[in-house]
Amino acid sequence: MTDKTPIAIIGTGFAGLGMGIKLKEAGYEDFVILEQGSDVGGTWRDNHYPGCACDVQSALYSFSFEQNPNWSRMYAQQGEILDYLRHCAEKYGLMKHIRFNTHLATAHYDEQRNVWKLETADSPALWAYMQKHDLKPGDALDVNDPDLPAFEAMEVNILVSGMGGLSTPAYPNIQGLDRFRGKMFHSQDWDHGYDLKGKRVAVIGTGASAIQFVPEVAKEAARVDLYQRTPPWVMPKPDRPMKGWEQALFRRVPAAQSALRNAIYWQLESRVLALALNPRLMKVAELEARRHIRKQIPDRTLRRKVTPDYTIGCKRILLSNNYYPALAQDHVDVRTDGIQEVTAGGVVDKNGVEREVDAIIFGTGFRAQDPIPHGMIFGRGNRDLLDAWRDGAEAYKGTTVHGFPNFFILVGPNTGLGHSSMVYMIESQIQYVMDALAQMRQQGWEAVDVKEGVQADYNAMLQAKSDGSVWDSGCNSWYVNENGKNTTLWPSFTWAFRQQTNRFDAQQYVCETSASLREVAGEAVPA
């Protein structure tokens, strides 16, 4: 590897921007960030539904090296987080590295030359094509279709994915959806041009997104039918505006904000004791959540409907002060009989009752089990990453996958959290990648590929840690796949992950120099 290692990063969310910032700090200038949108921000650009906010305190849900004394609330809302990310991209000089409107179509690893061959497409043209052909994000593209917009080729040595684990919307497979003549959209594709005032709206799903937008929809709509399959556990959100004197203090004494950040970190971290080590302790949280229901919902029937029957924490614990009060309104109904089909004008429940609606909003989440689309990343032997993940996504330290050399996945398998800030995990992974790059440069390695057995042992350890945790307590959640394998969550303390990723452990990798690569290719190696 030479000093000027061409590196491509995909995405400009916390992961992609954080990676770019650290590369620049270390003196790398020759890198590109591919961004399919026309702005930075990742999930905080794409999710802009009414009420969208973070459920982790902003003092912690932000880069450790770029604290923001001006957060307006304890838990910032989407627009403010997006502005923060734009500020980071500008401040750290990343804009000149970003290629906007550029969609990564495919990435193939060339084993002979140790490069990733990328094909990119102009995203507006590609999206127009997908719309015309009724394709959804994540659907495979027919590369032989002459209608498909032209791809541009480029080559890089290092490929870093900052695509995130929750970016491809999941749509329910409900009979008749294609017949519906009203308005339909997913929470991630909110149509702000559609006026909800006076409309009859069906919402499907009661996850982290829905509990934020349902109260806002209920303010406008004439009627809301909320189709709930499984009730979430919801706790009070200790949110409040930041006080002027607090912001002034944080500006003048950054250590004060660091102290708040640390206090929040350790408070959230203490939950791992119950979540991962002794789920019986979750009873305490359950009592508080039950109190929240009793306090906010007077009607017994509704209370029963919204009270989960699984251990709290098995699915993500949600925070809200206005969700239950929204449900308790007369024009909002929680429907628990399931959906049989959708007709041209409404939704039919499993009792055969049809309710006419003007719009259906999907709060049905994301394709967390196949976070990277099929047909996109091809490693050694032209193997599709999703084929390598047929039994469930897995990586080594959430970052590298055997057979996919020089490919680093930020927010990869088993790096997700149910209890703390993803930015902390992202920064840990970035440190690991930076150390990998430094060692590659020092040692002259052109390719690093994690050993198969190392990855297998690591994942056996992860699954063993997940057994007996609250996530293994029998509920249906996107944390685990259909075989019960935890493919998404980090099942331990986040500081333990940071320890693991502090240094690139090259002995766990096959590290190849140019000479050994040329040997592999059958070329004569000069003495």
Give just the sign of the alpha carbon dihedral 435, 437, 443, 446: positive
Among 27-35, 357-365, 371-379, 485-493, the segment contacting ligand NAP (CB under 6 A): 357-365
| Half-sphere exposure (Cβ direction) of 8: Cα atoms closer than 13 Å | 23
Burial zone of 505 (CB within 10 Å; 0-12 exposed, 13-18 middle, 19+ buried): middle
Task: For residue 342, state whether it binds ligand NAP (rule: CB under 6 A).
Answer: no
Smaller CB separation from ligand NAP, 187 or 296: 187
**Residues 145-174 vs ligand NAP: string with x where CB under 6 A?**
---------------------x-----x--
E strands, 205-337, in order: 223-227, 234-235, 318-319, 332-335
> 316, 207 in Cβ contact below 8 A?
yes
Task: For residue 176, state whether it binds ligand NAP (rule: CB under 6 A).
Answer: no
Exactly one of 364, 406, 466, 487 binds ligand NAP (CB under 6 A); which one?
Answer: 364
| Residue the block writes with tokens 């505006």 | 241
From CA 150, how far away is CA 322, in angstroms rounded?
48
Start-end of H helices in 47-191:
78-91, 123-132
Exactly one of 33, 54, 121, 126 binds ligand NAP (CB under 6 A); which one?
Answer: 54
Among 87-95, 364-372, 404-412, 465-473, the segment contacting ligand NAP (CB under 6 A): 364-372
Shortest Å distance, C-beta 172 to ligand NAP: 3
Smaller CB separation from ligand NAP, 43 or 106: 43
Question: Which residues have C-beta within 8 Å of that of residue 385, sequence separation ≥ 6?
Answer: 372, 376, 377, 378, 379, 401, 404
Shortest Å distance, C-beta 98 to ligand NAP: 24
Smaller CB separation from ligand NAP, 162 or 379: 162
From CA 75, how far away is CA 58, in angstroms rounded?
5
Smaller CB separation from ligand NAP, 8 or 314: 314
Residue type, 157: N
Exactly one of 182, 205, 215, 308 binds ligand NAP (CB under 6 A); which one?
Answer: 205
Helices 14-25 and 422-443 sit at what angle, rounded to 10 degrees? 40
Among 99-107, 147-155, 363-371, 497-505, the segment contacting ligand NAP (CB under 6 A): 363-371
Smaller CB separation from ligand NAP, 209 or 492: 209
DSSP state of 337: S
Exactly one of 8, 21, 208, 425 binds ligand NAP (CB under 6 A); which one?
Answer: 208
Exactly one of 16, 18, 279, 365 binds ligand NAP (CB under 6 A); which one?
Answer: 365
Return the residues of window 297-316 that contact ligand NAP according to CB under 6 A: 316
Shortest Å distance, C-beta 367 to ligand NAP: 10
Instruction: Look at residue 85 and give its three-state secondary structure.
Output: helix
- Which of 359, 324, 365, 74 lies closest to 208, judged by CA? 365
Burial zone of 301 (CB within 10 Å; 0-12 exposed, 13-18 middle, 19+ buried): exposed
Shortest Å distance, C-beta 229 to ligand NAP: 3
Among 204-212, 262-270, 304-312, 459-467, the segment contacting ligand NAP (CB under 6 A): 204-212
Task: For residue 336, state whether it binds ligand NAP (rule: CB under 6 A).
Answer: no
Which residues of the chain form contacts with ligand NAP (CB under 6 A)?
A: 54-55, 166, 172, 187, 204-210, 227, 229-230, 316, 363-366, 476, 478
